Amino acid sequence: MAIIGSIIKGIIDLKDKITSPPDAVEAQQEVLNMLLNKAKDTSFGVYYDFKDILEAEEIAAAFAKKVPYFDYDKIEKEWWHKLHEGKENITWPETPPYFAISSGTTGTSSKKIPVTQEMLDSIRGAGLQQVAALTNFDLPSEFFEKEIMMLGSSTELHEEDGHLEGEISGISASNIPFWFRGYYKPGEEIAKIDSWDERVKKIAENAKNWDIGALSGIPSWMEIMLKEVIAFHKVENIHEVWPNLQVFTSGGVAFEPYQKSFNALLAHPITVIDTYLASEGFIAFQQRPDTNAMKLVLDNGIYFEFVPFKPEYILEDGSIMKDAPALTIGEVKEGKEYILLISTVSGAWRYLIGDTIEFTDVNRHEIKITGRTKFFLNVVGSQLSVNKMNDAVRELEKKFAAEIPEFTIAAVSIDGEFNHSWYLGTDKELDDEVLAETLDDILKEANKNYRVARSKALKGVKVTTIPLDIFYEWNAANKKKGGQVKMEKVMQETKFREWEQFVRTQMEG
């Protein structure tokens, strides 16, 4: 009998019974008040007169009126660059001990997101809330005695000007509590290996020494690691190596596009739990089994605002119009898409994280990630969001019995006329012309704006299928192998030409 597991599960069950979820509006008001009070004497707080905001009758409205929207480039240029010059109390008291390196999705230079001790506490607190929610998934007591494979970036952080730098997964893993270290795999020694390929090789070599019950990480890189373990041990599926594997906690991107290819590596289904951990904070997690939506963490150091996801509010670079309206948690509607803004205990303010979300249940405050603002394709009025693209590719998978977990698209000019050029990542041989015609029909049926565009200025659709590995090699070439990667689903034409040259080189090699 799993005595320790029974005790752990009992504690989780008890905690779940004696704690009730906070009122969402009140929780968010308290978070905003805390943020403003903590930061009122910083340079940012003085400049935007946080003390005056705190005296307003409607603090949220005053905050939205006085403080503009910031994307990374704007807050870095105006405020965060001062942190790298050794200055203190810029957008949050004192100086952050860590910076999370995020290479983003555009292939530009890396972003450096400040990570304070309060943010690490927030991430840990959200993680504990997620653990408490496991009681809803009816897992056996034995599960709570198994080890957890956390696959992220290297925990070997780099010192830079008095602080440490690394990806958020590496920063978080390097700060795991002592009581958890016995459960954590691949362990500190392997986790510090900087080379992704070498780290995965070591995981494969040691895999049979571990009794893994849960996996945690980015779906695409997790698949690659599982394939390496399966190949190394010459078995048919991962359950032949880890027979007690029951849970995969997916993070960073939506799991649905990877579901078919991921399940092919298993002997039987496992429980998949979605999480939303970004470089800027732990935003949401799936709290119940009968949905793939995630509950926003509303009482843990992050204040949320929501801009309606409409073409007229989005600029070409993916940022938003300064006069676009922002809603609070009490004003959002179910079934509507929003651009997510956050203000945090790391000194991000009204910050455009870059993701679009949809509320699937406003009473439970559950969301799903629908795309990226920079992945919104609106050339000649086609108005294609990543959500629409994902749905179309899932339809292709069904129609052609194929696995297509990765894709990218660009609007390209051919003889002066716009065309949509798609690259689909699949290891199955398919007819590109038939795929293009089918994909076009699916999008016409699902999207009125696309259908109108195809009858006017959008002249054609081209599909090119390529091996899935080329997508991963592209990410590796952009120094994002194994990290918190979000493959760019929509590329500008100049970047797309680089991509096509890369594909040609890979195919010829």
- The residue segments making up the domain with residue 434 are 377-508
Please tell me the predicted confidence (pLDDT) of residue 344.
96
Residue 301 pLDDT grade (very low, low, confident, very high; cuts 50, 70, 90): very high
Residue 351, pLDDT above cutoff 90: yes
Does 319 share its domain with 467?
A: no
Q: What is the pLDDT of residues 209-253, one digit of tens each?
A: 999 999 988 888 889 899 999 999 999 999 999 999 999 988 767
Does 442 share its domain with 315?
A: no
With b for 16 or more beta-carbon neighbours within 10 A and e for fewer, the 383-421 pattern comes to: bbbbbbbbbbbbbbbeebebbbbbbbbbbbeeeeebbbb
Does 148 share its domain with 162?
A: yes
| Closest of 263, 202, 267 to residue 237, by C-alpha | 267
Does 238 share its domain with 203?
A: yes
Does 500 share its domain with 408?
A: yes
Residue 183, pLDDT above cutoff 70: yes
Please tell me the predicted confidence (pLDDT) of residue 260.
86
The encoded tokens of residue 54 equal 């705190």
Q: Out of 341, 373, 405, pick the residue that ends a domain.
A: 373
How would you class 150 by CB atoms within 10 Å of its CB: exposed for 0-12, middle for 13-18, buried for 19 or more? buried
Q: Out of 304, 339, 373, pick the residue that ends a domain.
A: 373
Give the number of other Cβ atoms within 10 Å of residue 209's Cβ. 8
Does 210 share its domain with 104?
A: yes
Does 386 share its domain with 366?
A: no
Q: Out of 344, 373, 402, pick the residue that ends a domain.
A: 373
Residue 277, pLDDT above cutoff 80: yes
- Looking up tokens 């002249």, which residue turns up? 459
| pTM attached to this predicted model | 0.78
Does 157 share its domain with 206?
A: yes
With b for 16 or more beta-carbon neighbours within 10 A and e for fewer, the 30-68 pattern comes to: ebbbebbebbbebebbeebebeebbeeeebbebbbeebe
Distance, CA of 434 to CA of 487 (rounded, Å): 25
The mean pLDDT value for 296-316 works out to 88
Number of separate domains in the chain: 2
- Looking up tokens 């949050």, which residue turns up? 92
Q: What is the pLDDT of residues 454-504, one digit of tens each?
A: 777 778 889 999 998 888 888 777 755 555 556 788 887 788 888 989 989
Does 166 share its domain with 301?
A: yes
The encoded tokens of residue 146 equal 């198994």
- Looking up tokens 């929003």, which residue turns up? 338
Taking all residues of the chain, what is their mean pLDDT, rounded to a whole number? 84
Does 74 share its domain with 169?
A: yes
Please tell me the predicted confidence (pLDDT) of residue 227.
93
Helix 432-446 vs helix 386-400: angle between axes, to the nearest 10 degrees? Answer: 130
* Four-point Cα dihedral 151, 156, 162, 165, nearest 10: -30
| Closest of 125, 123, 128 to residue 12, by C-alpha | 128
- At CA 194, angle to CA 188 and CA 195, rounded to 5? 120
DSSP string, 80-113: GGGGGGT--SSSSSS--SEEEEE-TTTSSSPEEE
Does 242 share its domain with 349?
A: yes
The mean pLDDT value for 201-212 works out to 94
The mean pLDDT value for 272-293 works out to 89
Does 285 share its domain with 383?
A: no
Residue 436, pLDDT above cutoff 60: yes
44: CATH:
3.40.50.12780
Torsion-angle region of 78 (φ positive above 0: left; ψ -120 to 50: alpha; else: beta)? alpha
